[in-house]
Amino acid sequence: MAIPGNLLSPTTETIDPNTSGWTSHLNCTIHAGIGGRAGGGGCLSVRSVAAGEMQARTVSSYPITAGTVYYVFADTAGVVGERIGIRWMYGAIQLGITWSVPTTGSSAAWHRVSVAGVAPSGATQAQVLLSSTEAGANVSHFWENIYLGAPVRTIGNLFPFNTESSEVDASGWAPVVNASISRQTPVMGWAVDNYLAGGQTLAMTAVAAGNASILAVDRPTVTPGQEYLAYAYLQPPTVASTAWIELRFYDVNDNQIQATRSVLAPPTPATGMYRQRVSDTAPANAASCSLAAGLDGASAGQVLRLETIVIAAAPELQAGTVVPYADGSFEQGVAGWTVANGVATVARTSPWGDSYFEGAYSLAITSSTATTSTIRSAKFPVIGGVSWRAQILAHPDAGTWTSVVVRVRWYDDANVEVGVSGGVSYGVPGSAWYVMPSDSTAPADATQASIDLVVTAATTASVLNVDQVVLWEVLPQTAVEAHSDSGYATLTLRELPLDDYTITVQRVAADGTRTLVRGPSGLIDRQPITSDLLVIEDHEAPFGVQYYYAVTVYTAGGAVQVTRSSGPVTLELPDGNEAWLKDPGNPQRNVKVLVAKPPDWQRPIEQAAFVIRGRRNKVVLSGRRQGLEGELAIWTRSDEERAALHLLLDSGNTLLWQTAPGMGVADMYVSVGQITESRVSPLAQEQWRAWTLPLTEADLPLTTGVNGAAGRTWQDVVTEFATCADLLDVYATSEALLLDRRG
């Protein structure tokens, strides 16, 4: 799959099936290589003509806008270090080159290089430059997975692109104590589809022995009471010192009012990048936040590198959970968990990545004797009188455990205990991760709850790891709602399984006919499940007939894991004179119109007639009779309707025409030919228009996905753009802003 937003063609990006997108720029020849990971396995082999620097560039120059930030990255491998650049052009004239910092070493394994820069004044086009300096002639350097386009940033990140990645410069960061800041490009391999990870890293160097730290310059706005998660990839020094990140909150006067630290526990020796997380809730007087990073006990000259630095609203480990991220994931410690009774102890697992299900750490419960202990969480807000589900994932790491009981303890506003659930007891065989849910109903006066884990060790020195602790109100797993006024239905699926499961969603008519439902990636047919909560807006559901949704979940091997069905649902279209015209891939363009006259249908057929001498009748050879063709006459009743219909028709996409039952026309996918828009009266102020739409019956679009914001919110827009005027230079329409289609 092509890199989203890439200005380069798929052939130029992946070097498959050929090298036609690349040419020599300096001291090299271009060849097709093998062993690439992107596309069909090809890669670009740039071979030196003589010792010294060699450069390859894209054959094409790509249109760009002066003053705009552009980003390039590539995966590369070779016997020497390398760099990548953006060559700014005005026609055939080179205006300058923005180069990345050269890599600190070399590797025959694939690793990432990247750089970003602002297009200079007068630049109208850009090329990608690939550079390495070889020691002799006929030495090959290899490249693939090459991108040129808008900055690739984490959706939802409160930090701007350059603070997240330092690809333009290191200006997003400032020293706090005993530190200098630079950028470095270590030899670092990333997954081929990890487009967020760049080559250039932010490097903090300890000036002298002792503690050293840096702080992001940005102060993104926060909402008091909102939980935030910050994370960064850290590459600590190999010599012992303590690396950490810290989420800080500030008041309106920029005074620091809260700081939460998370310490990295790297493997020994620490040679890679390790993603460290920290979370906390913004206090009542918080106005902004930032992120600090540092080393405690550093030696002079030690370097801490950071990559993909993010602050965002904390994700839910389970949709609707009331357990904060820190208490459910244990990424920065044991949070509010304590030992209520027994000999057990609790701690965060160590080192990084030793034992976890989510993130990089879990809670380690250690029992020194073969006895029972109770481990209790902090209190979380709940609603009384409704059903709740507590759930943990547990993994026996050492020794043997007889049982684990999961139960909920209830409290009122005064922190007085008002009940405790009976809980569910689980055996803990083997060494896998086990899901352990426990359902109970909160007493009517309950406003808080804590989770108890009653664990019984069967042997001494037993260790039980716990992760992804959640507590949520039990809502229907499958719910459906009709939105007749807007012409669609909403299907909500909760508690879907994750970890390599796929899903199929079908709309089932009264006669048993099944039709796949459309999602962002096309028809939902064995698509990967990426969240336990899935909300689908079905804009192709029929009107006036009852139907339901059938859901099938499959394992990674293709076996059926579980099936579900929704309740029945019916969309209404009360006025039989109205009809919907819809774009399946762009439902924001859908329009309800008034029908003046339905089509008189024709069904063309290709025929050839031959006159046979001596025979009375011709011989006619026919192809297959084609679909319906006819002209639909409609009215628009306002200038807004007229503009909306033009927007719908502009793309030329296949549309869905839907009418009320009993009008003699079934729902139909159509292509619309040359349209006619006429006035209905000579009065200039008359807003009604009469339209003639030539329709040709079409097939269901199989690969069209539903366009949307892809997770972007207004926070992402505010982070990237300072004023509304800045948006006008980038997006032609509000729809372009919604879909992030930059001009």
- 111-136: average pLDDT: 97
pLDDT of residue 268: 84
Examine residue 17 and say whether the peptide bond preceding it is cis (omega within 30 degrees of 0).
Answer: yes
Q: How far apart are CA 547 and CA 517, in angstroms?
A: 13
Q: Which domain holds residue 734?
A: 709-743
Q: Is residue 1 part of a domain?
A: no
pLDDT of residue 157: 96
Q: Is residue 593 part of a domain?
A: yes
Q: How confident is the model at residue 710 (pLDDT cuts 50, 70, 90)?
A: confident
If you ran DSSP here, which 8-state letter would residue 161 be given?
H
Instruction: Report the number of distinct structural domains present in the chain.
Output: 6
Q: Are residues 661 and 596 in the same domain?
A: yes
pLDDT at 742 over 80: no
pLDDT at 190 over 80: yes
Q: Residue 456: helix, strand or coil by DSSP? A: strand
Domain boundary residue among 89, 124, 149? 149
Q: Is residue 183 part of a domain?
A: yes
Q: Is residue 689 a contact partner of residue 642, using CB atoms and an 8 Å limit?
A: yes
Q: Which amino acid is at 491?
A: L
Q: How far apart are CA 263 and CA 265, in angstroms?
A: 6
Q: Residue 626: helix, strand or coil by DSSP? A: coil
Q: Are residues 256 and 306 in the same domain?
A: yes
DSSP string, 337-366: -EEEESS-EEEE-SSTTSS-SSTT--EEEE
Q: How confident is the model at residue 738 (pLDDT cuts 50, 70, 90)?
A: confident
Examine residue 102 and say whether the peptide bond preceding it is cis (omega within 30 degrees of 0).
Answer: no
**What is the domain-level CATH number for residue 208?**
2.60.120.260
pLDDT of residue 664: 84
Domain boundary residue among 565, 593, 618? 565
pLDDT of residue 425: 97
Q: How confident is the model at residue 199 (pLDDT cuts 50, 70, 90)?
A: very high
Q: How far apart are CA 42 and CA 32, in angstroms?
A: 7
Q: Are residues 168 and 308 in the same domain?
A: yes
Q: Is residue 318 part of a domain?
A: no
Q: Are residues 715 and 659 in the same domain?
A: no
Q: Is residue 572 part of a domain?
A: no
Burial classification of residue 717, based on how many CB atoms lie within 10 Å of its CB (0-12 exposed, 13-18 middle, 19 or more buried): middle
pLDDT in tens, 652-687: 999 999 998 888 888 999 999 999 999 999 898 999
The region, left, alpha or beta by phi > 0 then psi within -120 to 50, assigned to residue 499 is left
pLDDT of residue 331: 98
**What is the domain-level CATH number for residue 633?**
2.40.30.200
Q: Is residue 2 part of a domain?
A: no
Q: What is the pTM of this model?
A: 0.89
Q: Is residue 76 a contact partner of residue 128, using CB atoms and an 8 Å limit?
A: no
- 322-328: average pLDDT: 98
Q: How confident is the model at residue 721 (pLDDT cuts 50, 70, 90)?
A: confident
Domain boundary residue among 453, 473, 493? 473
Q: Are residues 95 and 141 in the same domain?
A: yes
Q: Are residues 20 and 137 in the same domain?
A: yes
Q: Is residue 34 part of a domain?
A: yes
Q: Are residues 301 and 170 in the same domain?
A: yes
pLDDT at 297 over 90: yes
If you ran DSSP here, which 8-state letter would residue 722 be given?
S
pLDDT at 512 over 90: yes
Q: How confident is the model at residue 32 (pLDDT cuts 50, 70, 90)?
A: very high
pLDDT of residue 712: 79
Share of the chain above pLDDT 90, in %: 90
- Estimate to the nearest angstrom the gap between the alpha carbon of 274 and the chain centroid: 20
Q: Are residues 359 and 456 in the same domain?
A: yes
The phi and psi torsions of 165 (rounded to 5 degrees) equal -120, -20
pLDDT of residue 429: 87
Q: Are residues 460 and 498 in the same domain?
A: no
Q: Which residues contact 229 (CB under 8 A, 6 or more apart)?
A: 277, 278, 279, 310, 311, 312, 313, 314, 315, 325
Q: How far apart are CA 55 and CA 477, in angstroms?
A: 57
pLDDT at 102 over 90: yes
Average pLDDT, the chain: 95
Q: How confident is the model at residue 650 (pLDDT cuts 50, 70, 90)?
A: very high
Q: How far apart are CA 394 and CA 344, in angstroms?
A: 16
- Cα distances (angstroms) measured from residue 645 to each of 5, 487, 669: 28, 16, 17
**What is the domain-level CATH number for residue 498?**
2.60.40
Q: How far apart are CA 126 and CA 60, in angstroms?
A: 9
Cα dihedral 661/663/668/671 (nearest 10): -150
Q: Are residues 264 and 331 in the same domain?
A: no
Burial classification of residue 483, based on how many CB atoms lie within 10 Å of its CB (0-12 exposed, 13-18 middle, 19 or more buried): middle
pLDDT of residue 149: 96
Place of tokens 């499961």: 501
pLDDT in tens, 244-287: 999 999 999 999 999 999 999 999 888 899 999 999 999 999 99
pLDDT in tens, 176-188: 999 999 999 999 9
pLDDT of residue 23: 98
Q: Is residue 613 part of a domain?
A: yes
Q: Are residues 201 and 279 in the same domain?
A: yes
pLDDT of residue 225: 96
**b/e code 34-66 from CB counts within 10 Å (16+ = b):** eebebbeebbbbbbbeeeeebbbbbebbbebee
What Rg, from alpha-carbon coordinates, does the chain have? Answer: 31
**On the CB side of 122, how many CA atoms lie within 13 Å of its CA?**
9
Q: How far apart are CA 680 and CA 682, in angstroms?
A: 7
pLDDT of residue 717: 85
Q: Are residues 438 and 485 in the same domain?
A: no
